[in-house]
Amino acid sequence: MVSVPTHLVSADTEWSPLRSVIVGHAADSCFPTAPPHMIKATMPEEHFASFRPKNRFPASLLDRADAEVRQFVQILRDHGVLVYRPKAIDWFAEGGYTAAMPRDGLITVGNTVIEACFAWECRHREIELGFSEILADLEKDPVVRVVRAPKVERPDALYEGIRGFGQKDAVNGEVNGTHTVHSHEWAINNARPAFDAADFLRFGKTIVGQLSNVTNQKGVDYLRSAVPEGYSVELLDVTDEHAMHIDATILPLRQRLLIYNPERVSKRALQKLDLFKDWELHAYPYQPAPRENPPRYMTSGWLLMNVFSLDEKKVVVEAGDVEFAEYIRKLGMEPIPCPFQHVNSIGGSFHCTTVDLVRQGT
């Protein structure tokens, strides 16, 4: 028997029992666009040339991705979870990217939902277009606060002075494989607050995040000012010069149990945060398997860590990630397989495609 949530938004962790969630959809998604130096800093090299204006993902790929999302939604509903879906948007007509990855654009902290200050201009209207009706519904609960992102007047100001910005050759097939971003030199400056919500995860009253190619210090300060009283935002030192979204770098499976990606963060860096002093911290011991078909246009194979918790035991994992499923089973988890490779293809996995709204006990 599932208890009825008291409020429409109430979530403090990534693992407490899930009661309601937004799940995106893939239809009509297009490759996002961003300045060449940004694409080079964050996207897989073999796909650079695809990130050009008005380039649709193949229709058959999106159909399959949406079929996978429907299967995922059914798993959630079978577990008694209330699922909100965004409005269908023609991203080709709007010049945007997708409604499939709402995790990048929204973060729930307690009873507050905070909209990301996206670095990428092509995403500035994503939440407004696809999700504003859901946000309006949530705001009917007087306890819920929705913090919308400020309007950006001069999108390119974020790139001024950044090495490689203004070069035109990078995504036209002439790339020689040398990334222009050097360690700790991100693809954005600090001219205005910029952050993607997926650069942050919730651990109770502490939010853990990273600076990245889409999140700057002003973005972190903005988030600190937007979270409800009593919450804090702490930064993890990552060693990933391509950093964009922390949810394939660390994965909290339950209270005091976390898996981390040893190619991106060290145990020592994790232990620098007081929060993790009494946590079991496990480096994931295997390499993700390569995959050519369907291609991962936008991410690394570490997407296998981008799972979604229904509670402290049950976790939805990509059906082909058998080695990963076995690994977390040995840690006492119960993996629920769901095919998601076509969703993976357009930029994320289960965690990316969701925004948890209510988790019990928070």
Which of 233/248 has CB closer to ligand NVA?
248
Active-site pick, 104, 196, 199, 356 = 196
The number of CA neighbours under 13 Å toward the Cβ of 134 is: 28
Residues 90, 28 contacting (CB under 8 angstroms): yes
Distance CA 199, CA 245 (A): 4
Return the DSSP state at 25: B
Distance CA 357, CA 355 (A): 6
Which of 36/347 has CB closer to ligand NVA?
347
Q: How far is the CB of 97 from ligand NVA (least distance, A)?
A: 14
Q: Which residues bind ligand NVA (CB under 6 A)?
A: 244-245, 247-248, 299-300, 302-303, 306, 348, 352
Distance CA 117, CA 199 (A): 12
Which of 108/111 has CB closer to ligand NVA?
108
Which of 22/244 has CB closer to ligand NVA?
244
CA torsion 145→148→150→156, rounded to 10°?
140
Question: What phi, psi does 102 have (nearest 5°)?
Answer: -65, -20
Residue 151 burial (10 A CB sphere; 0-12, 13-18, 19+): exposed
Q: How far is the CB of 8 from ligand NVA (least distance, A)?
A: 27
Give CA 327 to chain center in angstroms: 23
Active site residue 311: no
Q: How far is the CB of 139 from ligand NVA (least distance, A)?
A: 28
Reduce the DSSP state of residue 325 to 3 states and report it. helix
Q: How far is the CB of 311 from ligand NVA (least distance, A)?
A: 22
Q: How far is the CB of 247 from ligand NVA (least distance, A)?
A: 5
Give CA 329 to chain center in angstroms: 24
Distance CA 32, CA 95 (A): 9
Return the DSSP state at 182: P
Active site residue 338: no
Active site residue 196: yes
Active-site pick, 25, 37, 245, 342 = 245
Which of 5/301 has CB closer to ligand NVA?
301
Q: Which residues are catalytic?
A: 196, 245, 352
